[in-house]
A = this chain, B = another copy of it.
């Protein structure tokens, strides 16, 4: 019933897993153990199995290659702050030396987590800071820029999607634990956007946006400074679908003052 002219393509999923660690946006990369691109860094991913959904495949490959168990589907409110969404699909031609291969990329936003046990087709899964697009840094500084396949482009698309989503969705909370302070949330925005935000204005906007945050009433003291109030994502909010009104807009490109 399916016409003969229709071709069947091998399909892979590749996961752009982002987190915020040490005040910087970081991406999860693996070292490829197999050809092609053996020894090259790449996004975790692999072939979709016959009876699998795309999302299940993304979660499975992430688990196999990094030991990380991602929830398939959106986590049940608090307890699963992770967010997994489809990014886009990269066409079958000219991206794999073995022949035409379709790749469906997924974007995972998660709090920083450890990397228990790499395995499968990859070794040495580790986090790498994502260099600012505007500031590629001096030669040799950027640890990225030479990924396998077309993963450089997929990573760039994923980072741009994440940056844009923080503006109009509550997904910044996907990088935080269940409960967090406004300062931690601001640090997420600053790390993902690579900008500096005024703490006072950010506090006013974040707490003043309806349907975003909910105060727990408890405090948390950590290090110096006045203890901060703990917040959580407002209940009955689907962080994948909710829209912030008004949005938190990125400050327009700040031209660095000439030194």
The one of B5, B48, B101 that contacts A92, using a Cβ cutoff of 8 Å: B48
Query: Could you say which residues of chain B place their CB within 8 Å of the CB of A98?
Result: 1-2
User: Total interface residues on A, using CB and 8 Å?
Assistant: 36
Query: Could you say which residues of chain B place their CB within 8 Å of the CB of A5?
Result: 47, 49
Within 8 A of B (CB), among A5-19: 5-12
Within 8 A of B (CB), among A80-121: 86, 88-89, 91-93, 98-102, 104
A153 located at the interface, meaning its Cβ lies under 8 Å from any Cβ of chain B in the complex: no
Q: Kindly report which residue of chain B lies nearest to residue A7, judged by CB atoms.
A: B50
A222 located at the interface, meaning its Cβ lies under 8 Å from any Cβ of chain B in the complex: no
Asked if B11 contacts A102 (CB within 8 A), the reply is yes
Q: Kindly report which residue of chain B lies nearest to residue A1, judged by CB atoms.
A: B98
Determine, out of A25-33, A51-59, A225-233, the stretch whose residues face the partner at the interface.
A51-59
A55 to B3, CA, bound (A): 20
CB distance from A102 to the nearest CB of B (A): 6
Asked if B86 contacts A48 (CB within 8 A), the reply is no
A140 located at the interface, meaning its Cβ lies under 8 Å from any Cβ of chain B in the complex: no
Asked if B92 contacts A104 (CB within 8 A), the reply is no
- Given A6-B47, A7-B47, A8-B10: A54 touches B1 (CB 8 Å cut-off): no
Within 8 A of B (CB), among A31-47: 35-36, 47
Which of A12, A48, A49 is packed against the most chain B CB atoms within 10 Å? A48
Asked if B8 contacts A53 (CB within 8 A), the reply is no
A224 located at the interface, meaning its Cβ lies under 8 Å from any Cβ of chain B in the complex: no
A252 located at the interface, meaning its Cβ lies under 8 Å from any Cβ of chain B in the complex: yes
Asked if B9 contacts A54 (CB within 8 A), the reply is no
A161 located at the interface, meaning its Cβ lies under 8 Å from any Cβ of chain B in the complex: no
Asked if B10 contacts A2 (CB within 8 A), the reply is yes
A7 to B50, CA, bound (A): 5
Q: Kindly report which residue of chain B lies nearest to residue A96, judged by CB atoms.
A: B2
A54 to B98, CA, bound (A): 18
A245 to B252, CA, bound (A): 9
Asked if A11 contacts B9 (CB within 8 A), the reply is yes
Q: Kindly report which residue of chain B lies nearest to residue A57, judged by CB atoms.
A: B91
Asked if A7 contacts B7 (CB within 8 A), the reply is no
CB distance from A114 to the nearest CB of B (A): 28
Query: Could you say which residues of chain B place their CB within 8 Å of the CB of A54?
Result: 89, 91-92
Asked if B11 contacts A53 (CB within 8 A), the reply is no
Which of A5, A98, A102 is packed against the most chain B CB atoms within 10 Å? A102
Q: Which residues of chain A have a CB within 8 Å of any CB of chain B?
A: 1-3, 5-12, 35-36, 47-55, 86, 88-89, 91-93, 98-102, 104, 245, 252
